[in-house]
A and B are shown apart, each in its own frame.
Chain A
Amino acid sequence: MRASADIATAPSVIHIFITVLKRDLTLAYRRRQDLVNPMIFFIIVVSLFPLGVSPEKSFLQEAGAGVVWVAALLATLLSLDSLFKSDFEDGSLEQIVLTPQPLFIMVLAKISAHWLVTGVPLIILSPILGVMMHLEFETIKVLMLTLLLGTPVLSLVGAIGAALTVGLRVGGVLISLLILPLYIPVLIFGTGTVQAAANMLPIGGYIALMGAIFALSLTMSPLAAAAALRISLSN
């Protein structure tokens, strides 16, 4: 009797997802400076290239998409360290792992929150940077589309690295070492799409491949990150 009543009142999977998402978004809102830092970093990295390499319009048009993509990748990487860290330090991560609901759902919620607070601002900022890099209007639209498909992959795959290194002192550098090789395919297809669009070539195939990468990482990486979290918390 008691057990069945427990099951009936236990929160559903969707409810759990929304609860974790809300909690993470609230926490993020309360530490607004942490949200702004990756964005400022993003803008600074992009503006280093015209200063460091060449402010020529032809060079910027050629390299602009790649520069924006690399900067987005680094900005995401910078914010990944904090994905599980504060929850790990105050012990709430252990409570999340101990709940009877499937862990990967809560991990997916945390990743979604991470994407909403880091990935989405990068997408919104990208047209401004595109204009600064003298990209054509059509190219900027494609750049935003690739970032829309690509930044969730960055958050999803990055979560695996963050989960593997959550209890370690050397976390930050190690995440880059583990995750950057896995980011390379997204980077190649992301910039490849924009290059193709700039050269008036069809981009359907590229977009389909990026969608496939997104679908694969959406289904697999929450599971891998959940397994990695359990491993990190086991000692």
Chain B
Amino acid sequence: MWTFFHKLGSPKWFYDISGKWLPWFAVISALLLVLGSIWGLAFAPADYQQGNSFRIIYIHVPSAILAQSCFMMMAIAGATGLIWKMKLADMFVKAAAPVGASFTFMALLTGAVWGKPTWGTWWVWDARLTSMLILLFLYFGIMALQSAIEDAATAAKASAVLALVGMVNIPIIKYSVEWWNTLHQPATFTLTEKPAMPAEMWIPLLVMVIGFYCFFTTVILLRTRNEILVRERRTNWVKKLVTKRGAL
């Protein structure tokens, strides 16, 4: 366990091993996403109240889950980077911020599209919606801070502090539907209880959530590997790698 953690300190080791993981994650996420979308969009039964419009849940819920867990991962990685000065954690924060922002945007967009037929409006100032919007602004803030500070190490530390401070918003989003009586329905999935919807509906959703996680991992691995190459461009192993590729 600890050996693994120590090995994460070496960007070269991570670059090598993530190259081996990458095809697996890419293939699995493609399979799960195709399977989940076809199952959810074509074969899952229609909702008795909302009809077919509920099917957007298969995009909406996974992106909302990812939007929040991406921010939590960034905060954990930020803390790791601040405490153990791990370069890889810094690179993860930088790689994850735009991805998390796009998932948040996707959750808001699909939510608006879903809200129009069911609530009769694109947008309400509901606690869940507002706190997701704040999350999007927090992602923008981290991205702006990253690009404003030229020195990579300082930028990473500064955005780690901001990610940790921004963590206060995560429990607010999570419990907003329970604390305030608002329009948005409570969580679809919880770890401890059985979902309220029938199995034919939630199994494809679960497939989509896992597929989104795999997709997220694929994108993050790609972006982190890119970042490793850029930051370690002066080291011997990167030079060797590039010249070897060039010679082939």
- Show the binding face of A for B, using Cβ within 8 Å: 157, 160, 164-165, 168, 170, 174, 177-178, 180-182, 184-185, 188, 216, 221, 224, 227-228, 231-232, 234-235
Contacts and interface: CB of A to CB of B under 8 A. Distances in A.
A157 B161 CA distance: 12
A175 B122 CA distance: 30
A174 B145 CA distance: 7
A231 to B, nearest CB: 4
B151 A224 contact: no
Contact of B151 (A181, A182, A235): A235
Interface string B207-237: 0000000000000000000000000000000
Q: Which residue of B138, B148, B165 has the most chain A CB atoms within 10 A of its CB atom?
A: B165
Contacts of B158: 164, 228, 231-232
Given A177-B141, A234-B154, A165 B148 contact: yes
Contact of A231 (B140, B148, B161, B165): B161
Contacts of A180: 137
A174 B148 contact: yes
Interface in B90-140: 130, 134, 137-138, 140
Interface in B161-185: 161-162, 164-166, 168-169, 172
A177 B144 contact: yes
Interface of chain B, main secondary structure: helix
A228 B137 contact: no
Contacts of B157: 231, 234
A227 to B, nearest CB: 6
18 contacts: A164-B161, A164-B162, A170-B148, A178-B144, A180-B137, A181-B134, A181-B137, A181-B141, A181-B166, A182-B168, A184-B130, A228-B161, A231-B154, A232-B154, A232-B158, A235-B151, A235-B153, A235-B154
A168 B149 contact: yes
B144 A174 contact: yes
A126 B77 CA distance: 43
A222 to B, nearest CB: 12
A217 to B, nearest CB: 9
Contacts of A228: 158, 161
3 cross-chain pairs, A with B, having the tightest CB-CB distances, nearest first? A181-B137, A178-B141, A231-B157
B162 A178 contact: yes
